[in-house]
Chains A and B, each alone.
Chain A
Amino acid sequence: MADLKDKNTRLAVGKTYKLYIDGKFPRTESGRYYPLHNKDEIIANVCLGSRKDTREAVVAARKAFAGWSGTSAYLRGQILYRIAEMLEGRSEQFVAELVKQGLTKAKARTEVAVSIDRLVYYAGWTDKFQQVFSSVNPVSSAHFNFTVPEPTGVVTIIAPEESGLLGLVSNIAAAIAGGNTCVALASYSMPLSAISFTEVLHAADVPAGVVNVLTGSRAELTEQFAAHMDVNAIVYCDGDAAVDREIQLHAANNIKRVVRRTGIDWSTEKGQGPYFIRDTQEFKTTWHPVGG
């Protein structure tokens, strides 16, 4: 009987990397793919997500918004913490995947460790940033008046190209910690950890549609990430002046909030903070008379 551990006798099972939309793992509806190389070897055929995939992801995110934004801050914190737990348990897989995508082992280990810690960091903010950013306003009339942050709604995220796991995790965590739902476009050159991360999300009881992740071409999908009329904010992390212009032009269609996060070293403390949450918050002011 052959030894199953013997490399020569057992064929390893490869992984099909798919999209993550509405809590499911579909292939792109377009049937298209792009090959991902490591040196001369093809390591995966990655879904080349389409505009229709984007639309479906936005529909899922919108559907999930009422539930997620209405979830208690404490529970959102526990779910973010749970994501960290799941990622910790699978960190070896993520290190191996990052190495496969070209990182050194040391760098890959750091990236996974910081990603886990970042999730714990934002887990802790879910029930605190409101207190930091709220106010009770001393109006001159006989009214009780207060201002609180609320999530802006559906956020599209064009994740950093150079930081396949940590950049994606940092931006998703800030958006969902604040009660938004999101549609993220993974790094084109390092998409594998993004898709594997969605399996972690899936296992961590993140409700369907809260996070949707697509892989594909930035040139093709940026327009729709910026232009979609049912998206409230777009976050993007790379790009030159031409990309800035394209995103702003399309975002103006529905007065989308545009958050530009370029030039950030995600591995440092500069890559986190409550102001990343605040970027995709609205401020609501409520008045009520004070009287008998």
Chain B
Amino acid sequence: MDETTSKLAFDTDWQYDPAPESTDHIRIDEQYELFIGGEFVAPKEGRYFDSINPANEQVLARVAAAGKDDVARAVKAARKAYQTSWSTLKPAERGKYIYRIARVLQERAREFAVIETLDGGKPIRESRDIDIPLAAAHFFYYAGWADKLEYAFPGKQVAALGVAGQIIPWNFPLLMAAWKIAPALACGNTVVLKPAETTPLTALKLAEVIRDAGLPPGVVNIVTGAGDTGAALVDHPDIDKIAFTGSTAVGRSIQKSLAGTSTKYTLELGGKAANIIFADAAIDEAVEGIVNGIFFNQGHVCCAGSRLLVQESVADEVIRKLKDRMESLIVGDPMDKNTDIGAINSPAQLAKIEDYLRIGQAEGGEMYQSSATLPTTGYWCRPTLFTGVSQSNRVVQEEIFGPVLAIQTFRTLEEGLDKANNTPYGLSGGVWTDKGAKIFKMTRAIRAGVIWANTFNKFDPASPFGGYKESGMGREGGLHGLDAYLELS
């Protein structure tokens, strides 16, 4: 192929000046309590943990660790709010409260973006342009459903479930809180939400918004803590519904914990999506799609395009262009508006990713990383790809949840499809081709819940999201997302 493509020499000719987002307009308290019954209350056992900025390892705040008693208190508050205020409110009024949350989030968007980036390590460009606007949009979308639910499920009566226990991950902290809380409230439920222990701050700031929006006390309760807090929520007998986003391993244990109970559940779990590039694709656009697919949010994305399947005849060209593009990605200070790849969320996650880098090489894969200079403090991983890997390699089979791409090739459509579907996961997939008929053949045949054709990693409140197979059950977003929070009869 064309080896003479001109490219920008980013290391010599193209230096960006630092462009840091300012932090003087935000407020992070030294200590955060639990949000229960409309108030911030201290945890009974008096335990706290630190929330760390993964880009510089500095402590941002001390955060309460909710024990069993605290969880019980939160569930009680949620039950009381369900019975005394939320379920008796006119649906249109319920909707207006949710609209208020959306509006305040829009007003305070910059503050939320900065805190999200400080707490989680994602580039400010992403928290500013994606996480926070989408979170506000999610509340706005579901607010409007509150008084229209009877149109969603033809032939069925709908009713709220009661108290929903919700457990969310650290990769999109505020956005996942919005995905959980907005439809639950719109459908008339009350909520106990547990944020992830490495990224609790925007959920606690959201608690302030919810309080300031005047929601009745107890309608939303936020209990921070680690896995034991989540387990206490799952095991609480007065919960009607568990909604979980996280790993397949934890999802499986939740499904087992709930065995024999009448608690409903929806699970949004891991993935190992194939991003399939055909020879007739617009290659430059596809390369952008590959980069967005795997390096968006440091690859901490359950629907990441972590397997690249590229048709053999264009493999050399695609890989060469991809390596060039990886070289141009700016890894570093998440607060810098030019940064493409921020900090790995936690030392534990970095250790897991580094394990996979070793495993991938030990299994015979050829590893390539960009030459980006990494900061000396904080947790970082260069954009990485593996070639020469086969279907049975662990870096092809297992979810790494980092900026690590496994590349395989295929000759025929059928071979590409077989490889794409050869996984216990089924969350997402990508197809790149200029042929319309081939797009529909592939998007139909890939066994996954979200398929991006000639694009990747797009999200919208109106668009249902969720997995096939071991990637989970139930949908979030859109009309279909209402089902998780309603009893149909």
Contacts and interface: CB of A to CB of B under 8 A. Distances in A.
Given A137-B478, A248-B259, A285 B451 contact: yes
A283 B473 contact: no
Contacts of B260: 241-242, 244-245, 248-249
B468 A287 contact: no
B468 A286 contact: no
Given A143-B455, A288-B455, A244 B449 contact: no
Given A139-B460, A141-B458, A284-B450, A254 B469 contact: yes
A56 to B, nearest CB: 22
A203 interface: no
Contact of A132 (B137, B154, B488): B154
A255 B256 CA distance: 10
B232 interface: no
Given A147-B464, A273-B155, A275-B156, A255 B449 contact: no
A285 B463 contact: yes
Given A143-B455, A244-B260, A275 B460 contact: no
Nearest to B259: A248
A286 B267 CA distance: 20
B480 A286 contact: no
Contacts of B447: 153
Contacts of A251: 255
Contacts of B423: none
B454 interface: yes
B475 interface: yes
B454 A288 contact: yes
Contacts of A232: 469
Interface string A143-180: 10101001011000000000000000000000000000
B463 A152 contact: no
Given A251-B255, A288-B439, A139 B455 contact: no
Interface residues of A, number: 39
Contacts of A252: 252-253, 255-256, 259
Contact of A249 (B156, B259, B471): B259
A253 B252 contact: yes
Contacts of A245: 259-260
Interface string B434-455: 0000010001100111111111
Interface in B211-265: 248, 251-253, 255-256, 258-260
A138 B466 CA distance: 18
A246 B251 CA distance: 17
Contact of A135 (B251, B439, B448, B479): B479
Nearest to B137: A140
What's the interface size class on B, roughly? 35 or more
B263 to A, nearest CB: 10
Nearest to A132: B154
Contacts of B454: 288-289
A285 B455 CA distance: 13
Interface in A247-276: 247-249, 251-255, 257, 273-275
Q: Identify the interface centre among B154, B251, B460: most chain A CB within 10 Å of its CB.
A: B460
B455 A255 contact: no
A135 B478 contact: yes
A135 B463 CA distance: 9
B32 interface: no
Contact of B458 (A143, A152, A246, A275): A143
Contacts of B453: 286-288
B462 interface: yes
Contacts of A275: 155-156, 488
Contact of B424 (A244, A254, A273): A254
A1 B488 CA distance: 68
A285 B429 CA distance: 11
Q: Identify the interface centre among A251, A252, A253: most chain B CB within 10 Å of its CB.
A: A252
A287 B451 contact: yes
A282 interface: yes
A138 B453 CA distance: 17
Contacts of B267: 255
B470 interface: yes
Contact of A255 (B248, B444, B464): B248
A282 B424 contact: no
B463 A287 contact: yes
Contacts of A242: 260
Nearest to A247: B259
A284 B252 CA distance: 22
Contacts of A253: 252
Contacts of A140: 137, 460, 462
A289 B288 CA distance: 14
A283 B466 contact: yes
Contact of A282 (B269, B460, B463, B468): B468
B380 interface: no
Nearest to A244: B260
Contacts of B137: 140
Contacts of B458: 139, 141, 143, 287
A238 B390 CA distance: 45
Contacts of A288: 439, 453-455
Contacts of A284: 443, 448-451, 468
B465 interface: yes
B468 A135 contact: no
B183 interface: no
Given A249-B256, A252-B255, A286 B462 contact: no
B154 A255 contact: no
Contacts of B452: 286-287
A98 B439 CA distance: 51
Interface string B147-190: 00000001110000000000000000000000000000000000
A255 B451 contact: no
Contact of A139 (B443, B462, B466): B462
Nearest to B426: A282
Contacts of B378: none
Contact of B463 (A139, A246, A254, A274): A139
- When A and B form their complex, which 3 residue pairs have the shortest distance between CB atoms, in order from nearest? A245-B260, A248-B259, A252-B255
29 contacts: A137-B464, A139-B463, A140-B460, A140-B462, A143-B458, A145-B462, A147-B480, A152-B468, A244-B259, A245-B260, A246-B259, A248-B255, A248-B258, A248-B259, A249-B256, A252-B255, A252-B259, A274-B155, A275-B155, A282-B468, A283-B464, A283-B475, A284-B449, A284-B468, A287-B452, A287-B455, A287-B463, A288-B439, A289-B455
Given A139-B462, A254-B424, A286-B452, 10 more contacts: A135-B464, A140-B137, A147-B480, A152-B468, A252-B259, A254-B470, A255-B473, A283-B464, A283-B466, A289-B454
Interface of B: 137, 154-156, 248, 251-253, 255-256, 258-260, 267, 269, 424, 439, 443-444, 447-455, 458, 460, 462-466, 468-473, 475, 478-480, 488
